Amino acid sequence: MRIFETLNKAILASWEKCILTGGTEAVAMAQAALLGQTFALLSSVSYLSPRHADNVARLTIIKRKKDLLIAQTFHGTLIAWARRLDVFRVTCIPEKIDVHGAANGLRQTWKKWIQREERNRKSPVVRVAAALFIHDVEIAEISMSDRFLRHKASDLPPACDEDLWSAPIAEVWAERFKEVSASGPSKTDYSCSTQQAPVTFGGVYQHQGSIAAKDCFRSYIVLSGLASFPKETHNYEALNRERQREQKTRFLINFYTSHIEPSKEGSHDVYLRRALWHSTFISSDVNMDRLEIAIGREGYNESQQRINDVREWACSLDGQRCALHAIMILRELEKIVLGTEPPIHIPRTVFCAAITWFCYIKLGRDGPDLSQHDLEFPEFKVMGVNCYQILFEANGYKGKRLKSTESSVFRGFIDLLQRVGHWGISNTLASILRLLLPEGTDDEKNRF
């Protein structure tokens, strides 16, 4: 914490000189500021502190609200610095690549291509841009507000297919280059241009086929932008909102079949994109801000104004759909190996899934005409998942929803947050969820 506070003061004291100077010093300052922002987003540090009454060390959760305030306040400033440094201006080399030349010429072409890829992958400027995209989503979701940046695939740092990048010699590279180029635009991304019309929803433009199939990091950034569904779309008229959602669903299904499904069985995805993919559907079908208000975030009076709307949602097919995705998030993250450092979005994703499931079982009621046919959602068809069976198992192998006090799924979310990472934000969010259980202690309720 002292390092974070000292770093923050040092940056505030020297930013003007660094920005005016430009160059590597300015980029290094932006990187340092991003490290500080990351700490601020993941803080609410838990540690053992002595109690003077009995002189016994007990767990105390320190809610460092000022850290989150700093992250929210200076996020826009950091974006302004990045724009001043042209961080978001992606430079591409659209020159034609000849892989049919002589051996010496082929090696020279390969070396030039390697230099371009190294710049795209290792440039500090590219790293700053990618980190800002991710932070923009996290801050928007935590504060329940709209993003500063619009996530466009054309603005993301380009990178080639991993098989192409790992070619050991020029001849192997040339053969793989031909194969990847022949497979169409969805498998390659060697220039800034694209022939496909953009898909748009809620002001977010995405070029289908603009990501290399095995570029996990870039696909993670695109997916994180989609998971943060713009808040204004929830206020659109029903017809327009439904059109936006259908468009997003089609894009996500194509994304799944192109980038997530091909992953080898048992291979570890460090970005945990499957859980994030399920979270995008929840953000499309429900306004999480309304759910939190309905369960008491702003007090009893505000809760009563929202509870009827949330109850209607919980009884609808949209509520069923969100509940299914929440269960899938829990199943995916329960597979995480103990000791794995989770991505920055995981605590928030688990918390949102838990709130979604709680509202579904607490406020919803099953209709008499619900059948297996009603639960045939397109994204689950692609996955080959039986939705009716998933809900049946989650409800304790009963044909109706459980009461919140009986739900092992909700308690599973709390348990997952407590062990998913060592950062304080996970423990803090788990403590908030424990307040929704009947055995939540008075000490916890007073603390939050």
Q: Which pLDDT score, from 0 to 100, does residue 198 have?
A: 43
Please check whether residue 63 lies inside any domain of the structure: yes
Q: Which pLDDT score, from 0 to 100, does residue 207 have?
A: 45
Please check whether residue 244 lies inside any domain of the structure: no
Please check whether residue 367 lies inside any domain of the structure: yes
Per-residue model confidence as pLDDT tens digits over 284-296? 888 899 999 999 8
DSSP string, 209-278: T-S-TT-HHHHHHHHHHHHS--GGGGGS-HHHHHHHHHHHHHHHHHHIIIIITTSPTT---TT-HHHHHH
Amino acid in position 386: N
Who contacts 73 (Cβ-Cβ below 8 Å, separation ≥6)?
Answer: none
List the beta strands (DSSP E) in 143-233: 199-201, 204-206
Examine the fold and report which residue of 67, 88, 114 is the final residue of a domain before the chain moves on. 67
Q: Are 3 and 67 in contact (CB under 8 A)?
A: no
Average pLDDT value over all residues in the chain: 77
Q: Which pLDDT score, from 0 to 100, does residue 308 have?
A: 92
Q: Which pLDDT score, from 0 to 100, does residue 379 have?
A: 94
Helix (H) or strand (E) holding 207: none
Q: Are 217 and 159 in contact (CB under 8 A)?
A: yes
Please check whether residue 364 lies inside any domain of the structure: yes
CB-based burial of residue 392 (10 Å sphere; 0-12 exposed, 13-18 middle, 19+ buried)? middle
H helix count then E strand count, the chain:
19, 4
- 41 backbone dihedrals φ, ψ, rounded to 5°: -70, -30
Q: Which pLDDT score, from 0 to 100, does residue 125 have?
A: 78
Per-residue pLDDT of the chain (448 residues; tens, 9 = 90+): 888 889 888 998 988 888 888 888 888 899 999 999 999 888 865 443 444 333 333 333 444 667 778 888 889 899 999 888 888 775 554 456 666 665 667 888 888 888 777 766 667 777 888 889 899 989 888 888 888 887 665 566 566 666 777 788 888 888 888 877 665 544 333 333 333 334 455 444 444 444 555 567 778 888 887 776 555 555 555 567 677 788 888 989 998 988 888 765 556 788 899 999 999 999 888 889 999 999 988 888 899 999 999 999 998 889 999 999 999 999 999 988 877 888 999 999 999 999 999 999 998 887 655 555 567 899 999 999 999 889 888 888 877 787 777 788 999 999 999 888 778 888 889 988 998 887 654 454 444 4
Cα–Cα distances in Å, from 400 out to 223, 362, 370, 373? 33, 12, 10, 16
Q: Are 344 and 271 in contact (CB under 8 A)?
A: no
Integer Cα distance of 261 and 277 in angstroms: 11
Q: Are 30 and 78 in contact (CB under 8 A)?
A: yes
Q: Are 1 and 45 in contact (CB under 8 A)?
A: yes
Please check whether residue 140 lies inside any domain of the structure: no
Q: Are 218 and 273 in contact (CB under 8 A)?
A: no
Please check whether residue 443 lies inside any domain of the structure: yes
* Domain tally, the chain: 2
Please check whether residue 29 lies inside any domain of the structure: yes
- 340 backbone dihedrals φ, ψ, rounded to 5°: -70, 135
The whole-angstrom distance between residue 295's C-alpha and the CA centroid of its chain comes to 24
Please check whether residue 31 lies inside any domain of the structure: yes
Integer Cα distance of 226 and 426 in angstroms: 23
Give me the domain span that covers residue 448: 263-448
Question: In this structure, what DSSP letter does residue 98 have?
Answer: -
Q: Are 245 and 321 in contact (CB under 8 A)?
A: no
Per-residue model confidence as pLDDT tens digits over 64-101? 667 778 888 889 899 999 888 888 775 554 456 666 66
In DSSP terms, 59 is beta-bridged to 48
